[in-house]
Amino acid sequence: MNPGEVWRLQDGSLRLVVSHPTYNASQLNRVITAVVDAPKEGFDPFAVSLESPEGQLHVYADRIAMHPRHWLVEQAAAADAQALGEVRRHLRFLLCDA
């Protein structure tokens, strides 16, 4: 699993992998992801547009979670470099800027 890949969880929801491949492959058996969902009404400053085979989606960079690797069952799409860069920019703001 690599950053930028969109995976489907067992419950059918989608997540964008944001953690480093070395971490994802480690014995911890964990992956850090951001929620991917249909665009919502209204303004969301951390939503990043993503084109996918399932249509227009948004990555919500402010909604991150850690999952066991085996919960991600099927790769559904991949973010392009621009979308992944935008998600990373939001994460840097949310997690690193002090």
C-alpha dihedral over 26, 31, 32, 37, to 10 degrees?
A: 160
DSSP state, 71?
Answer: G
Q: Per-residue pLDDT tens for 22-50?
A: 999 999 999 999 999 988 888 888 888 88
CA-based angle 29:32:33, to the nearest 5?
130
Tell me the residue ranges of DSSP E strands in 1-95.
5-9, 14-17, 30-37, 47-52, 55-68, 72-78
Q: Per-residue pLDDT tens for 64-94?
A: 999 999 999 999 999 999 999 888 888 888 8
CATH code: domain of residue 49: 2.30.30.110
Q: How many independent structural domains does the chain possess?
A: 1
Contact 8, 41 (CB under 8 A): no
pTM of this structure: 0.88
What is the domain range of residue 84?
5-95
